[in-house]
Amino acid sequence: MIAEPPVSYKGTAMFSHLPHSYTAIVTGAGGGIGHAIVHALLKSSRLGRLIAISRDKSLNFDDARVTTLSLDLTQEGDRHRLKQSLGDQSVHLLFNAIGTLHDEQLSIWPEKHLEQLSADALAHLMHVNASTPILLIAALTASLQGKHPVIVASLSARVGSINDNGFGGWYSYRASKAAHNMLMKTAAIELARLNKRSIVLCLHPGTADTPLSQPFQARVPQGKLFSPAFVAQCLVDVIAKRTPEDTGSFWDWSGKPIEW
Ligand SMILES: NC(=O)c1ccc[n+]([C@@H]2O[C@H](COP(=O)([O-])OP(=O)(O)OC[C@H]3O[C@@H](n4cnc5c(N)ncnc54)[C@H](OP(=O)(O)O)[C@@H]3O)[C@@H](O)[C@H]2O)c1
């Protein structure tokens, strides 16, 4: 059964750190969690403008505050197009929901054993899960630096925690998320110099009912498979509680910090 928000649950969808009419970018907006994050952000009148980015050309959120851009941000040319379209306009919230675990077309599946490792699969997951988010931040530096408040939130996964690795397996995914976390932590340090009001966060969404988790849902404990809408509300609340002192940290959907 998929866990939905309890009736009494009130997602705040409010970022007191960000100004009224703030500008947000959501990447992976065609994915399960990215799509739900867009809807969660749209619940707040504080949002001014949202740029939803996806490879999906048909994406439409039916809200005048949303601009959809059809881009593949794993590609340098499309990151450059985004950078050109923004110029040095301030971005207040960058939520990255791009990520991959398995890819049937590329015959990529999480490894259980060493002999299943492939250089191509390892490189692909590193590219999508680790290189793409940091190269995106690099492309948007002009919009993130300055004196305005900024939150950069990027979806990681608990299995990327080296301390938490008690089961092994999933080499490429674990390694790509650990690399993601190191890159975000490092960016947090530089962005703090470029913008004292910046907050960079790695987030674990729990297990959400999306195409990414679909093949692995049978082994999820009862009550621990969440709807994307529930996860999005929880993550928005987790982000809303953070301050610049929290920059460069890793949190789960319930608001608990995760060890690196
Ligand atoms: N679902 C879970 O249980 C779970 C658990 C832990 C962590 N996460 C993390 O949460 C993030 C979002 O996952 P999700 O569950 O929402 O998965 P999803 O529904 O599969 O969405 C992921 C999105 O990432 C983009 N993407 C994936 N592969 C790509 C590629 N090769 N090239 C370009 N873009 C690509 C796509 O965005 P567009 O379609 O918009 O182009 C895709 O829709 C991922 O980083 C994942 O690792 C998820």
Question: Facing residues of 108 across strands?
Answer: 103
Specify the pLDDT at position 40.
98
Specify the pLDDT at position 8.
44
pLDDT in tens, 28-42: 999 999 999 999 999
pLDDT category of residue 15 using cuts at 50, 70 and 90: confident
CA 231/CA 110 separation, integer angstroms: 23
Specify the pLDDT at position 1.
67
Q: Which two tokens stand for residue 95?
A: 């939520």
Q: Could you tell me which of 235, 240, 243, 199 has the C-alpha nearest to residue 34?
A: 235
Under a CB-based contact definition with an 8 Å cutoff, are residues 65 and 49 in contact?
Answer: yes
Stretch 7-25: mean pLDDT:
76
Specify the pLDDT at position 4.
66
CA 189/CA 91 separation, integer angstroms: 18
Element holding 122 (H helix, E strand): helix 119-125
Best mutation site among 37, 100, 103 for ligand 1 pocket (most ligand atoms within 8 Å of CB): 100
Q: Which fold has domain 22-252?
A: Rossmann fold (3.40.50)
Under a CB-based contact definition with an 8 Å cutoff, are residues 63 and 42 in contact?
Answer: yes
Number of neighbouring beta carbons within 10 Å of residue 106: 12
Specify the pLDDT at position 7.
44
Q: Could you tell me which of 157, 234, 240 has the C-alpha nearest to residue 202?
A: 157
pLDDT in tens, 179-222: 999 999 999 999 999 999 999 999 999 999 999 999 999 999 99
pLDDT category of residue 5 using cuts at 50, 70 and 90: low
CA of 143 to the centre of ligand 1 (A): 24
pLDDT category of residue 16 using cuts at 50, 70 and 90: confident
Q: Residue 203: phi, psi to the nearest 5?
A: -130, 140
DSSP 171-223: HHHHHHHHHHHHHHHHHHHHHHHH-TTEEEEEEE--EESSTTTGGGGGGSPTT
Q: Of ligand 1's atoms, which has the minimum distance to the CA of residue 27?
A: 40
Specify the pLDDT at position 189.
98
Best mutation site among 212, 219, 220, 227 for ligand 1 pocket (most ligand atoms within 8 Å of CB): 212
Q: Could you tell me which of 178, 175, 191 has the C-alpha nearest to residue 136?
A: 191
Q: What 3-state DSSP class applies to 147?
A: coil
The pLDDT of residue 12 is above 80: no
User: What letter represents residue 254's amino acid?
Assistant: S
- Ligand 1 pocket, residue 59 CB under 6 Å: no
Q: What residues does each domain of the chain span?
A: 22-252
CA 67/CA 52 separation, integer angstroms: 6
Exposure string for 111-124, b = 16+ CB within 10 A, e = fewer: beeeeeeeeebbeb
pLDDT in tens, 92-147: 999 999 999 999 999 999 999 999 999 999 999 999 999 999 999 999 999 999 99
Specify the pLDDT at position 63.
98
pTM, full prediction: 0.96
pLDDT in tens, 46-86: 999 999 999 999 999 999 999 999 999 999 999 999 999 99
